[in-house]
Amino acid sequence: MKIIVILILILSTSCDSSYNQAWVDFNSNYIMDVYENTDMSIDIRVDDLVSRLTLEEKISQMESGSPSIDRLGIPAYNWMNEALHGVRASGNSFFEGESGNDNTTVFPISIALAATWNKQLAYDQGNAISDEARALANKYDNALFLDFWTPVINIARDPRWGRTQEGYGEDPHLVSTISTKLIKGLQGKNKQYFKVIASPKHFVANNSEFNRHWGTSNISEKVLRDYYLPAFKSSIIDGGAYSIMSAYNALNGIPCTANENLLETILREEWGFEGYVVSDCNAIADVHINHKYSETGEEAVALALKAGTDLNCGSYYRKYLFKAVKAGLVSEKIVDKSIKRLFKARMLLGLFDPKNKVPYSKIDVDVIESEKHQALAKKISSESIVLLKNENNFLPLDKDINSIAVIGPNANSLRFGNYSGTTSYSSTPLEGIQNIVSKLTKVYFSQGSQVLEDNLPVISSKSFRPKSGDTRRGVLAEYYDNPNLKGKPIATKLETNIDFNLGFENVPHSILSKNDWSARWSGVFIPKETGQKMLNVSGVDGLKFYFENELIFDKWNENYSHNSFITKSLKAGEEYSFVFEYGEDEGWQSAKLGMKQLKNNLLSDAVNLASNSDVAIVFAGTYEMIEAEGRDRESIDLPKEQIELIKKVYEVNPNMCLVLINGSSLSVNWENENIPSILEAWFPGEAGGEAIAEVLFGDYNPSGKLPITFYKNLNQLPPIDDYDVTKGRTYMYMKEKPLYPFGFGLSYTNFEPSNFSIENTSISVDDTLFVSFELENIGDFDGSEVVQLYIHEHKNSIYNPSKILKAYKKVFLKVDEKKTISLKVPVRDFATYDVTASAYVVSPGNYDVLVGNSSENIYYKTEVKID
């Protein structure tokens, strides 16, 4: 006879809970732990689960790659994934389980999504991405694709910032509205479960790469509250994001990851945030190593945890938190507070519930790269393209034209931008043009200029000798047991090359510790053939590179990702000495020395093709080797080789269109003065070539608007490390005329506004401002216009912007169609931060209300008074 012992647990929120007890599922006779019982509240389930964990087990779950706890049936969980513009699904070394090498839909880069000025597209993209993520999670039956460190909502105060491409522009309202819709699409509409969890980042004022691990963003309270915080606030309050990532940098001297005012007072107390905070990768190590805000690792983790950082991307919690608790630097109760937030997030994803209860568990892999998602990627790309110039209606081009020269480093390449996945479907600009023109049209292609690549072939050991005259092959490697090459090497060996990418844990020599080591590789390089060579020195952490006794590259004291290119004219058989030094003190470990032979005659080939073609289309701009994470631009000009290419092509063929493919604004002054037509296409995603071709040849009327100012030159900008936007940054505070203003974008058709009216010019704080007018398409193409409403307060203050966006609407009109447009703004949205009152206040007084189709082209202005 089977005897079943049933322990009935009676719990209520009004009495103390007794944990380590169980429930019985009478259908299966399975004895459930309380945390597995879906009839209980999530908070009770989380409390029960955490009560069963040892301190060591709790700490193990506070790192981005959380291991399984088999005795409790807790599976491994990977918090670390990206979905900036599509799921990055090409494997993940942090996850202790199966993961794929899957293709997914690659949407245009984030700045392109912002250039659509289409909030619905932002929601649709987020929804598509999370559908594909859930499909992958269901395919592999793991938790690799449920938590995403997306979106980037750092506001674009300076176009030199390498990650401008990852965000949604320079305006608080535009960034807020686009990112909020994306977050809602990602997290889903179900009231019980998240589809995925979104983590807006990097909180806060993280807008420069060169000093991001050690720099401080010094900002007044008013500028912080009015400019840098609004998008984060809306992502939490309006978007409902359940996670947020803290930033590497310090804010006014206090590292963001250990900033209690930021993470507790503002985020949790003021905004009511209930989710979890994750550090940027190795940001807690930065508190100790780079910011030098703590003297030890134990102090760093205690400061971060007490400030409110729940999850560590990196190894510092695992290495130091147990010691910190035992030393009394932080209590286990604070550990419990954080670990409960983390397990609650996992439960809200349905990871501790039967699959039949979680609606998203039914999403199938058929949604991945579906026709619907591919069409959406193309639509976003099409709507993001901005027509910057179109003199004498140069565009659209005739599909029956006799010959076209397609030229440039971005003409036959897919430029996806940072954090991209991989796709099985793609269309380069060249392919798009070839597929859209008449069969009789001759399409010629030339690259025109060199392209920097981060994946240059590793130099073979056959080309290396450890020293001059040595017959052995390879480089001499000397390894040190400290990060600064001090003392004598503890190991010396001959390596075949310099190429390792070992992550956080592995090392290139078994005698070394996981961190705090350094190496020097030296020898001579003997090229096989004469010609121009491009050397690529790259790695993470401190680097130095000497070539022929000349210090070429020195980033020894800058602990982040580096990439440098050196072009040299070398002779076959000659010996060229080099020294590569590397210092590792914490974090990702990688270094590489690569090389490629440069192509000859690129410029002359391009000029020859242009001179013999009816039209030349030049695809110029940037790519990840010019602007990316870890890589700010020193200039906002096009690369010099590309400028020369454009001018030489124009000399032989002024029937020329310039297409910019890039992630941030460019100062194309000469090009704007001379070239008849210019398009901005951003990093356009998998369907970019097709979308660009349809705009060039008139199948699609461009409707994108700039989400960032295009400056004429660097003289119009303060230094990149100056975070005070009131010193002439953005359309809000710029004194001079830009090259192209914020909100600008032309069309192939013309729109005529008329019959403006405003409901009331005397309003109170509780009112809503209404402006209405008629808009008519009086041109020859169907098309969309983005109408924009700005306000300006009548007061003298350095903080008062010349205008600031408060509403916008994208309107589609057929030829000769007229629509009545209404724009509304709650008067409470006029509020700015009052430092004295420590609150957002709508100041009484007079305000200009301005309506136009860019921040400069204002076609209606009136005045209202707030009582």
Q: Which residues are catalytic?
A: 280, 627
Burial of 857 per CB tally in 10 Å (0-12, 13-18, 19+): exposed
- Torsion angle of the four alpha carbons 826, 831, 837, 843, in this order, in degrees rounded to the nearest 10: -90
Place of tokens 């945030």: 273
Coil/strand/helix, residue 733: helix
- Tokens representing residue 230 in the block: 């609004």
Whole-Å CA distances, 737 to 115, 161, 675, 722: 21, 21, 20, 21
Coil/strand/helix, residue 589: strand
C-alpha closest to that of 170 among 181, 158, 156, 180 = 156
C-alpha closest to that of 713 among 763, 618, 654, 638 = 638
Q: What are the backbone angles phi and psi of residue 94, rounded to the nearest 5°?
A: -85, -10
Residue 568 CB neighbours (<10 A): 17
Q: CA 643, CA 789: separation in Å to the nearest integer?
A: 36
Coil/strand/helix, residue 78: strand
- Tokens representing residue 82 in the block: 């990206």
Burial of 182 per CB tally in 10 Å (0-12, 13-18, 19+): buried
Burial of 413 per CB tally in 10 Å (0-12, 13-18, 19+): middle
Sheet holding 677-680, edge to edge: 386-390, 677-680, 656-661, 615-621, 403-407, 442-446
- Tokens representing residue 410 in the block: 């971005």
Distance of CA 831 to the CA centre of its chain: 29
Q: CA 685, CA 520: separation in Å to the nearest integer?
A: 40
CB 415 within 8 A of CB 645: no
CB 591 within 8 A of CB 582: yes
Total residue count of the chain as it appears in this document: 867
CB 103 within 8 A of CB 89: yes
Residues paired with residue 753 on neighbouring β-strands, in sequence order: 775
Place of tokens 């990840």: 624
- Torsion angle of the four alpha carbons 560, 563, 566, 570, in this order, in degrees rounded to the nearest 10: 110
Task: Count how many Cα atoms sit within 13 Å of the Cα of residue 464 in the half-sphere of its side chain.
Answer: 23
Sheet holding 751-758, edge to edge: 751-758, 768-777, 818-826
The angle at the Cα of 801, spanning 800 to 802, to the nearest 5 degrees, equals: 120
Place of tokens 């800058």: 558
Burial of 226 per CB tally in 10 Å (0-12, 13-18, 19+): buried
